[in-house]
Structure 1
Amino acid sequence: MKKVPSKILALLMAVSVFGCVSSKTGFTPGTYQGTAQGFHGDITMEVTVDSGRILSVQAVEHTESPGISDPAFERIPKAIVDGQTLAVDVVAGASFSSRGIIDAVTLALEKSGADITALQNKTASSKAVRRDSKTETADVIVIGAGGAGLAAAIAANQSGATVIVLEKMPRAGGNTIISGAAYNAVDPSRQIPLGIEDSVDLHFTQTYEGGDKVGDPALVRTMVENAYPALQWMESLGMEFTPTVFTVLGGLWPRAHKPVKPLGTGYIDTDLEYINSHSSQITLLLETEATELITKNGRVTGVKAKGLSTDYVFNANKAVVIATGGFGANIELRDRFNSMWPALTNIKTTNHPGATGDGLVMAEAVGANLVGMEYIQLLPMGDPDTGSLSGNIEQNVENRIFVNKSGNRFVDEGARRDVMTKGLFEQQDAFMWVILDRHSYPNPDVKNNFNETIAELIAQGRAYGANSLDDLARQIGVNAENLKAAVADFNRAVETGGPDRFGRTLFQDKIDTPPFYAGAREPTVHHTMGGIQINTRAQAIDKKGNVIPGLYAAGEVTGGIHGSNRLGGNALADIHVFGRIAGTNAAAEK
């Protein structure tokens, strides 16, 4: 949440009291506000005008993603003031935020009596930016600077290749940097001391069967066998994980590793440290959007791209790696391929705004086969206002329950993600409360998996706390007797070890120690399991089943690994295992 300092706001509001209409421009001098929809919620912009000019444009309040949306809030207001026009370009990778800013400014200017049509048609007074053309060459070109792309770039460089990484967003990180960051891997060094029995075969079985046996068994086997070696590889680069493991939502087993740094920042920081220290061999270009794969005699040989002021041709001596992520933020593509869920048009997403499926379009244009596109994963854990995973109060699967608006449990809270979400859709308003107690938050300053303390969440009205279940029920508006019965039912199952009447088998502590906490959640689009078909070498496959020479793919842009449902914690394993494989093999191309 960002706000204009109160003194400046008061001064600007005072200006608006003395406005008068200008016959020349139609402006009524003063200060006006407009609010429009951004990517994660409302954006409120403030505009100050005099009788002849737009004097200032600034953000009053918004909940857009920090870093991702920042360039839009910096550039668009400046472009509007500099050009005295609403005909300004959106910022690549932050198009939803950009349009929200422009729409909010438009609404504010309407209040001033401005001629909106003239402002929308007016050519900016500043000179148009002249576009340059440039050609660059490297051994490997990587499209996308999320977890998979950066892993591919590092692995390629470690294999002796020079690398150029293209990222359309203003920052690196993709979905990885805003993820819950759980990483599944069979890890005896952490699991055995906790009394956890696990095996690669069990991880394979749970992944393959958890995706309804739709995934390619060879790809699943490659992922589970290489998950721990890839984790060790990351640790060799400086990545740090906590010394324990846990069961992540929909992960089915306690094998999820938690980074020391919050969210996915540890992965991306580690990658960028390597890239920065090898800058003579790896070039990372932000705000550079790949638009087309270049082919010659059936082989992918490079990439065409657009920068802010430059049109590029990037030639690859060896190969191209596509790591552009999924299409969870592309409503049109979601609706086109969705066959599993009710209409997704009004369902928010956990994804960053750049997850729009660009790589799928480019790959299909050169003959790549797309598989499993109908398999779209929803989580029951979206913030009701933004769809993001932030604000989720759960710490692990074993110590919390879900209740609906009546205060009743309705599903096995340790089940697959699709099972839990389908159960949630059957509840009133597809809405639930996560209920837990002091076992998850021994003190108010304990943070959730998104670097937020429970005290902060309560202060923001995003969570509720009480010393009794009766008081908690009153605060969240559910039937107290139902809530107490739901907790008692769960506690009895903890004593017996289950399964309970929902079939739940994952338990640890009772919910019996105040303070008790509740957090609201709704369904949200989280992951797209479909994408480019690849083999175990991460080579892209065409519609006839043949390898496309010179083209590799890794991460959420690929399909065939997770089947119809992805286990929680498997995405981070997937992107690093196959990112590493793609980079290594791309560097070895002849």
Structure 2
Amino acid sequence: MKKKHAKLISIFMCFVLVLFAFGCQSNTESAFKAGKYTGIGKGIHGDIKVEVEVDDTKILSVKVLEHSETPGVSDSAIAKVPQEIVDGQTVAVDIVSGATYTSNGIIEGTKAALTEAGGDMEKLSQKKEDTTERKTEELTTDVVVIGAGGAGLAAATSANQNGAKVIVLEKMGKAGGNTAISGAAFNAVDTELQKEFGIEDSIDKHFQQTYEGGDKLADPELVEILVNNALPAIKWLESLGMEFEHKIFTVLGGMWPRAHDPEKVLGTGFIDTHMEYAEKSNGGVEVKINTNATELIKEGDRIVGVKAEGEDTDYVIKATKGVVIATGGFSQNKEMRDKYNKQWEDISNLMSTNHPGATGDGIIMAEKAGANLVGMEWIQLLPMGDPETGSLSGNIEQGVEDRIFINLDGNRFVDEGARRDVMTKALLEQKDQTMWTILDSHSYPTGDEENHFGETANELVKAGRAFKADTLEELAEMIGVDADSLVKAVEGFNKGVDEGKDEFGRTLFKDKIDKGPYYAGKRVPTVHHTMGGIQINTKAQAINAEGNVIPGLYAAGEVTGGIHGSNRLGGNALADINVFGKIAGESAAKGL
């Protein structure tokens, strides 16, 4: 009997071993067909071509082969996303903040390649569990700057130049903020350069246009600081190694030709200049990315530090001299937009030009610490948003003087050199709230010239983001507007060039639109700038509800209010962040 039981047990065990072997074989079947595969994803400027190499069981490499993304803005995504896919063996990786479209394009291209390789996309789309154990670290420095955009980095450089050690906290995956993706036009009265181009200007004119352009609702003392220190701020940047083109132009809603254009694409020149300074500072300026400031530390009535959350570390950072808030505005925070908006009928569904991190964090932190908020109801819209993304990229204009706007019927509808709020209000009243920007080869003699976002007209046409035709009639057919109306609109503009004004009250002219080929680009309203924020004085010190200085707290850039009133002139933001960023850093370093 025992022998019989032993025999049955042996048979059962053999059966189990067979099942186990079969199961092991199933688990070790090839996950992929080994080889190299390519896939295409959609970036912000066009297709991103990705090459993925796999063996039987895993992803070996992900490489971006071709793309048209913006250098300096997309670099971090192109470096980080492929590596994280390989490290995690999953396409469920985090996007790189500030490079959303590039990140998604790389992921989309990788998915296409892995699908061709026979991968199980359900398994490959599962997010890897984060098992990192968090730790707490206490640090002490002279100055803490919250935000590594243009204002924050200007403050950090300035504070260090004035003898302070600085820690900069940036919640996004890279430095740059809105500055990095901006058109980078920098308003400054520069009479010596302007005279070369036959332009008369003055500090008084810049003041009046800024103050009156904001309906006289700004603090005139802050406006005085802005316009008087704009050109010195450019000279300061040049002393740090930044380069500007030898030209002057009028940016959309700028009201006058006083905008300076950096040599580097977009606003990357500002960010690169300060980051290079930080790298050479021997630890004088330390920038911590992926580190989100959550709370200001207050002792009595003084701000003495910041609490923050890093990727795997919680920080308590004491600042012996001061804290500078430079976190930008709240254009990407729909709840805050709806809460404060009194200017527009409904902007809840509008896209924004801003980077994803513009969510008003610094304003909320400062208010909790007692800071007074001013001008929060004033939210700037632009008529120049990309129809798909809301961003300013793809905008074909080179300057205000040489282009017109037409609606979907082919008619002009506004002074194209007016205030930004005036132009956008007019666009909101048009069919589908959509317009076409029309210009000619005076702006693009060959088509290979770049706009203010590093894109050529030929590239935009190839990507389907702009249209090009030898005649206005052909252009009208391409974009679906009435040809007679378009021709009449252009004739009206050209008459205005001859006479110096036209039926819409326009006064900014240069060349006629009469030289083919002609170009058109579609644009829609988009949320661009929030004029309200933390109240500051001329030393960039934060002010409380009683009108008193909050010791140890400073602010600069779009996080502040009171500088632009109800409407910001185009080109004044870059002046603002650099002028007041520099002041905030100096004030904090000196403990004012």
Could you tell me how far 1:69 is from its partner in structure 2? 4.7
1:441 aligns with 2:449: no
C-alpha deviation, 1:39, in angstroms:
9.8
Distance 2:372 2:110 in 1: 43
Counterpart-to-counterpart distance in 1, 2:110 and 2:247: 49
- Return 323-332 or 426-435, whichever deviates more: 323-332
Q: Please tell me whether residue 81 in structure 1 is matched to residue 81 in structure 2.
A: no
Q: Please show how residues 174-213 of structure 1 align to structure 2 within 5 Å.
A: 174-213=177-216
Structure 2 match to 1:583: 585
Question: Structure 1 pair 57/513, CA: closer, same or farther in 2 (3 Å)?
Answer: closer
Percent of paired sites with the same residue: 60
Match of 1:524 among 517, 523, 526: 526
Letter of the structure 2 residue corresponding to residue 308 of structure 1: E
After TM superposition, the structure 1 = structure 2 runs for residues 66-465 of structure 1, keeping only pairs within 5 Å, are 66-67=74-75, 69-70=77-78, 73-74=81-82, 77=85, 81=89, 124=129, 128-465=131-468
Q: 1:193 Cα deviation (Å)?
A: 2.1
Q: Distance in 1 between matches of 2:69 and 2:349?
A: 18
2:507 is equivalent to residue 505 of structure 1: yes
The structure-2 alpha-carbon separation of the partners of 1:405 and 1:90, relative to structure 1 and needing over 3 Å to count, comes to closer
Q: What corresponds to 1:19 in structure 2?
A: none
Q: Distance in 2 between matches of 1:30 and 1:571?
A: 53
Partner of 1:3: none
Poorly superposed stretches of 4+, deviation over 6 Å: 27-31, 33-65, 88-110, 112-117
Matched to 2:519, the amino acid is Y
Q: CA deviation at 1:488?
A: 0.4
Q: TM-score, normalised by structure 2?
A: 0.85
Residue segments in structure 1 that go unaligned for 5+ positions in a row: 1-21
How far has the Cα of 1:364 moved from its partner? Answer: 1.2
Q: Per-residue deviation at 1:507?
A: 0.6
Give the superposition deviation at 1:331. 2.1
Shift of 1:344: 2.3
Q: Which residue of 1 aligns with 2:5?
A: none
Cα deviation for residue 99 of structure 1 reads 9.7
Report Cα offsets for 1:31-65 as digits up to 9, x if no partner.
9x999999999999999999999999999999896
* Count of residues in Structure 1 that have an aligned counterpart in Structure 2: 562
RMSD over aligned CA atoms reads 3.6
Rounded Cα–Cα distance in structure 2 between residues aligned with 1:340 and 1:49: 55
State the one-letter code of the partner of 1:240: E
Amino acid at match of 1:218: E
* CA displacement 1:156-201 (0-9 Å, x = unmatched): 1111111111111121111111110110011111112222111111
Alpha-carbon distance, 1:401 to partner: 0.3
Q: Distance in 2 between matches of 1:243 and 1:52?
A: 56
| Letter of the structure 2 residue corresponding to residue 520 of structure 1 | K
Query: Alpha carbons of 1:242 and 1:417: their partners in 2 closer, same or farther (altered >3 Å)?
Result: same
Alignment partners' CA distance in 2, 1:239 and 1:58: 32
Q: CA deviation at 1:108?
A: 13
Q: What one-letter code is carried by the residue in structure 1 that aligns with 2:383? A: P
The alpha carbon displacement at 1:93 in A equals 6.7
Alpha-carbon distance in structure 2 between the residues aligned to 1:383 and 1:89? 25
User: Which residue number corresponds to residue 562 of structure 1?
Assistant: 564
SS at match of 1:398: helix
Corresponding residue of 2:487? 484
Q: Measure how far apart 1:73 and its partner are.
A: 3.2
In the alignment, the residues of structure 2 paired with residue 30 and residue 356 of structure 1 have an alpha-carbon distance, to the nearest angstrom, of: 44
Q: Which has the larger radius of gyration?
A: 2
Alpha-carbon distance in structure 1 between the residues aligned to 2:238 and 2:169: 25
Letter paired with 1:503: G
Return the alpha-carbon distance in structure 2 between the equivalents of residues 365 and 560 of structure 1. Answer: 19
Question: Structure 1 residues 227, 494: CA separation in 2 closer, same or farther (over 3 Å shift)?
Answer: same
User: What is aligned with 1:9?
Assistant: none
Please give the secondary structure, in 1, of the residue aligned with 2:450: coil
In 1: Cα distance, 2:564 partner to 2:443 partner:
30
